[in-house]
Chain A
Amino acid sequence: MITLGLLEKNTFLEAVNKKSGTNVLECYQCGKCVSTCPVSGYMDFPPREIMQMIKLGLKEECYMANSMWFCLTCSACSGRCPREIDVPAVMEAIRHLAIEENYRSENKKVKDIRKFHDIFLDMIKRYGRNYELRMMAEFNIRTRNLFKDMHLAPKALLKGKIPIGHESTKSAKAIQKMYKLAEKLEKDMK
């Protein structure tokens, strides 16, 4: 539903432009990004449509879409965009705004992807570094899918592909402090 009156200010567009450092209005809807994007087929709205939705101020529709969660930041689209729009930066801006404004999609894939990133960040906070096997195991536990990839595990472990143990780094303490300060900074900025 388009609710934008002609004289209404498009604050969503402004917010996205500011965060992404790119001007979405420059997009002339050629669709080159869509044909370039390796995951546009999985997106609720491919990049070109997202651009138009931003121009129309369709904030909630953008926030609830899976598009920005599926974007791999591969920069294939922006490299080919004739208007030199930084599409992954736009995707990132929408994602960050959606997180800030507490929008949560109930889409199973989006939930999985978010959970993965939460675990990843948690892991860095705890150890200063990232340990792949632990992460895989935690992801499977937290998505209640214990046996996912289990067929890969024996072979990968046997071949020493994924080590079981992990080193504790000195950096862990510094990182915990950084997380706290970064959180504070985020609040101060608001």
Chain B
Amino acid sequence: MNKLTYFPGCSAHGTSEEFDHTLKLVMQTLDVQMEEIPDWNCCGATSAHVMTENLALALPMRNLVLAERLENKTMGIACASCYSRMKGTKKHLDENPELARRINTTVIDEGEYKGTIDIKSMLQYCYEEIGLETIKSKVTKSLSGLKVACYYGCLLTRPKDITLFDSPEYPMSMDLLMEALGAKAMEFDFKTECCGASFSISNTEVVESLSGKILEVAKESGAHLIVVACPLCQSNLDMRQPDIEKHTGRKFDLPVMYFTQLMALAFGYPEKELKLPKHIVSVEAALKHIGEAIPEPEKVKKIKKAVEAESEVE
């Protein structure tokens, strides 16, 4: 059994409960024991770094210090925003011991910061630590027939010197993970475009414009649904979708699911465990495609024919 220190982030108990819940199920199947950091606090994501320097480091530092007290030294983070803040802070602190010492004076009761924790996003943990082969071996219900567009957003792979994971321009880890479940990952050029993130409440006009473009490209990819690994991306693409449709006059009808929901489904958990009623854009119709045969695209057929013809000539 593997052990993992878990930082759920604030939205796990709010907007992204279905992420948290299915993540726990999936980890159970994969024989990973998750230990939540006791008494964790908000990492300050989206706002602390905007307004202040010290708090932006102190808030994540407290969580890191609390995590260091636990036996296990790998931390998994569900939310991409928390992941970026915590890992960015760690890098900053580790590279500047004097700064770490200074910030540590605001976190005195919790103890000394040592920098011994290795931080991974849950997608990264699945991909790097557990591995696709193991994941594949747990699939009892293949998702074949389901076409998905994997959306990574900004913070899972960028900046690359902080995340140290996958490609900042065209990552493939989630795509490969989906293929391991049997689904078909579509070519999708807007994988790492920003959804408007933290402007969700304060600047909805920007969110609608940016998320609208992502939905449009995802739709064109032929996907039945979008897969995400971040609660902010999920709520921007799902909750704002009806408004975006109203303002652009386009109909997308693209459900937005967490990768862990699809893993849970493929691992044989009943649909009710996915908490599907929480979705604003209904998921049911998309999931009906599971089991369908996907015909080879015309383009591929043509290319194959041409290659055959050529080899005959030779």
Residue numbers of A with Cβ under 8 A of B are: 38-39, 42, 70, 72-76, 78-79, 86, 92, 95-96, 99, 109, 112-113, 115-118, 120-121, 123-124, 128-133, 135-136, 139, 148-149, 152, 155-156, 159-163, 167, 169-171, 174-175, 177-179, 181-182, 185-186
The answer to whether A131 and B14 have CB atoms under 8 Å apart is yes
Chain A: minimal CB distance from B152 (Å): 12
A99 to B169, CA, bound (A): 33
Chain B: minimal CB distance from A145 (Å): 11
A70 to B194, CA, bound (A): 13
Tell which of B42-50, B68-76, B290-298 binds the partner.
B42-50
A16 to B267, CA, bound (A): 51
The answer to whether B203 and A178 have CB atoms under 8 Å apart is no
Known contacts A75-B154, A155-B280; A113/B203 CB under 8 A:
yes
Chain A: minimal CB distance from B221 (Å): 19
Known contacts A78-B159, A121-B55, A181-B105; A163/B203 CB under 8 A:
no
The answer to whether B42 and A128 have CB atoms under 8 Å apart is yes
| Cross-chain contact of A76 among B15, B53, B192 (Cβ < 8 A) | B192
Chain B: minimal CB distance from A158 (Å): 9
A128 to B153, CA, bound (A): 27
A109 to B207, CA, bound (A): 13
A113 to B51, CA, bound (A): 11
A72 to B105, CA, bound (A): 30
Q: Which residues of A contact B14 (CB under 8 A)?
A: 131-133, 162-163
- Chain B contributes a number of interface residues (CB within 8 A of A) equal to 59
Q: Which residues of A contact B210 (CB under 8 A)?
A: 38-39
Given known contacts A131-B14, A152-B239, what 6 new A-B pairs fall within 8 Å (CB)?
A113-B202, A121-B48, A181-B58, A182-B55, A185-B102, A186-B53
Tell which of B107-115, B124-132, B139-147, B176-184 binds the partner.
B107-115
| Cross-chain contact of A121 among B51, B102, B235, B278 (Cβ < 8 A) | B51
The answer to whether A182 and B54 have CB atoms under 8 Å apart is yes
| Cross-chain contact of A178 among B47, B53, B106 (Cβ < 8 A) | B106
Chain A: minimal CB distance from B228 (Å): 15
Query: Which B residues from 172 to 223 make CB contacts under 8 A with A?
Result: 192-194, 196-199, 201-204, 206, 210
The answer to whether A163 and B13 have CB atoms under 8 Å apart is yes
Chain B: minimal CB distance from A153 (Å): 11
Interface of A is mostly: helix
The answer to whether B206 and A99 have CB atoms under 8 Å apart is no
Task: List 14 A-B residue pairs with CB atoms under 8 Å apart, sorted by A's residue number.
Answer: A38-B193, A38-B194, A39-B206, A117-B46, A121-B44, A121-B52, A136-B201, A139-B201, A148-B204, A156-B280, A169-B39, A178-B59, A182-B106, A185-B105
Chain A: minimal CB distance from B51 (Å): 5
Q: Is the CB of B41 closer than 8 A to any CB of chain A?
A: yes
Chain B: minimal CB distance from A190 (Å): 12
- Candidate in A78, A116, A152, A163 with the most chain B CB atoms within 10 angstroms: A116
Chain B: minimal CB distance from A47 (Å): 14
Q: Which residues of A contact B15 (CB under 8 A)?
A: 132, 161-162
A148 to B59, CA, bound (A): 30
Chain A residue with Cβ nearest B61:
A178
Chain A: minimal CB distance from B167 (Å): 10
Q: Is the CB of B40 closer than 8 A to any CB of chain A?
A: yes
The answer to whether A115 and B202 have CB atoms under 8 Å apart is yes
Q: Is the CB of B247 closer than 8 A to any CB of chain A?
A: no
A39 to B154, CA, bound (A): 14
Chain B residue with Cβ nearest A173:
B109
| Cross-chain contact of B107 among A74, A78, A178 (Cβ < 8 A) | A178
